[in-house]
Amino acid sequence: MRRYGFNFQWMFSWQPGRAPAEADRKALDFMADIGLDFVRIPTDYRFWTRGTDYRSLDEATLAVIDSYLEACAERGLHASLNLHRAPGYCINMPEIEAHNLWLDEAAQDGFAYIWETFARRYAGVPAERLSFDLLNEPPSEGERGMTRERHEVVMRRAVAAIRAIDPDRPIVLDGVGGGHLAIPELADLGVVHSGRGYMPMAISHYGAEWWKGSAELAEPVYPGLTWEGKRWDRDALRELYAPWREVESRGATVHIGECGCYARTPNDVAMRWLGDLFGLYKEFGWGFSLWNFQGPFGIVEHGRPGARFERYKGFKVDRALLDLVLESRLS
């Protein structure tokens, strides 16, 4: 999983009932041309499920997922299929779910069944072309009734269900606490552990309208920002990832499934912070994936104050950010 790329929201939406988007083949061509190779595809189970009948999956929607994987495979890109909204849980508006993934058998059965279905459907796809990222950003302990013990039970069940069908499928588990906290209790599973590159959020999510924590923030500086009682610099970032490196030392693989900086952060601050963040990932030997390709966290048309853009391979690209991403790779 020393892979690098972007998240694409083709099948994730704040608006239920919207049709899934087609794969952005122009963006995938761009990635292949410049040597990036990782496409994370967050999905929402409501695209293929009617109500709470979690075992009834719409074939037409599954065929759209097939088309995403085919578009990536045609270009030599690795696709990581992710449940961003699963039966009973999503980090965004979890309260709208009819069931609770951590407490309700119906949601747990539905979660396992969806991954069993994907395992059967894609059993012949080579491991280098496809991984399963089981659940986006599980909550912190105590939220929505989640405990580490309950999380472990749900994840071990899904991993076992997949491996009973497709034993060589690469599987990815996001850290708890919104993806930020390592899960050493699952270090023995032989899966990829997926972290996040958003800390401190006072930099990465400065001005983010949907995050209530941004409301009273002063314009960030870096290095030297003080947030939640800590002074943030490269050493603080290194300390942040110490638990992940401990899990890695026990045989797990680490990949950063999401990272990036929202467009309201001044560009000089964003670039210094991202430079330290990506520099550490390179030092650690970790791949990473930006949220997202185009838009306020991306490399294309993000609109960050002070950034300079150029036309490159058909896109209006923040070339300095793109160059930073490319320089941060390991072969």
The tokens of 288 are what?
């990473």
C-alpha–C-alpha distance, residues 99 and 107, integer Å: 6
What confidence score (pLDDT) does residue 104 get?
98
What confidence score (pLDDT) does residue 215 get?
87
Mean pLDDT, the chain, whole residue set: 96
pLDDT of 15 higher than 80: no
pLDDT of 263-284, one tens digit each? Answer: 999 999 999 999 999 999 999 9
Domain that holds residue 312: 4-198+242-327
Which residues contact residue 29 at a Cβ distance below 8 angstroms, ignoring those fewer than 6 apart?
Answer: 75, 313
The torsion angles phi and psi of 101, rounded to 5 degrees, stand at: -60, -30
Give domain status of residue 30, yes or no: yes
pLDDT of 325 higher than 80: yes
Give domain status of residue 237, yes or no: no
pLDDT of 216 higher than 90: no
β-strand 315-318 against 253-259: which pairing, if any? unpaired
Give domain status of residue 114, yes or no: yes
Which residues contact residue 130 at a Cβ distance below 8 angstroms, ignoring those fewer than 6 apart?
Answer: 69, 78, 79, 80, 81, 122, 169, 170
Write the DSSP assignment of 213-267 as a string of letters: GGTTPPPP-SSSEEETTEEESHHHHHHHTHHHHHHHHTT-EEEEEEE---TTS-H
C-alpha–C-alpha distance, residues 159 and 96, integer Å: 26
pLDDT of 30 higher than 90: yes
What confidence score (pLDDT) does residue 236 get?
98
C-alpha–C-alpha distance, residues 191 and 58, integer Å: 29
What confidence score (pLDDT) does residue 71 get?
98
What confidence score (pLDDT) does residue 78 get?
98
What confidence score (pLDDT) does residue 305 get?
87
Give domain status of residue 220, yes or no: no
pLDDT level of residue 14 (50, 70, 90 thresholds): low
Q: Do residues 156 and 171 touch, judged by C-beta distance below 8 A?
A: no
Give domain status of residue 161, yes or no: yes
The count of domains in the chain is: 1
Write the DSSP assignment of 269-310 as a string of letters: HHHHHHHHHHHHHHHHT--EEES-SBSTTSSBS---TT--EE
The tokens of 292 are what?
């997202």
Give domain status of residue 60, yes or no: yes
pLDDT level of residue 17 (50, 70, 90 thresholds): low
Is pTM beyond 0.95? Reply is yes
pLDDT level of residue 13 (50, 70, 90 thresholds): confident
> Ramachandran region of residue 76, left (φ > 0), alpha (ψ -120 to 50) or beta?
left
Length of the chain: 331
Give domain status of residue 156, yes or no: yes
pLDDT of 306 higher than 80: yes
Give domain status of residue 205, yes or no: no
What percentage of residues in the chain have a pLDDT greater than 70? Answer: 99
CATH code of the domain covering residue 118: 3.20.20.80
pLDDT of 135 higher than 70: yes
Cα separations (Å) of 156 from 89, 96, 134, 258?
17, 26, 11, 23
pLDDT of 153-178, one tens digit each? Answer: 999 999 999 999 999 999 999 999 99
Of 5-19, 256-270, 282-296, which gets the smallest average pLDDT? 5-19
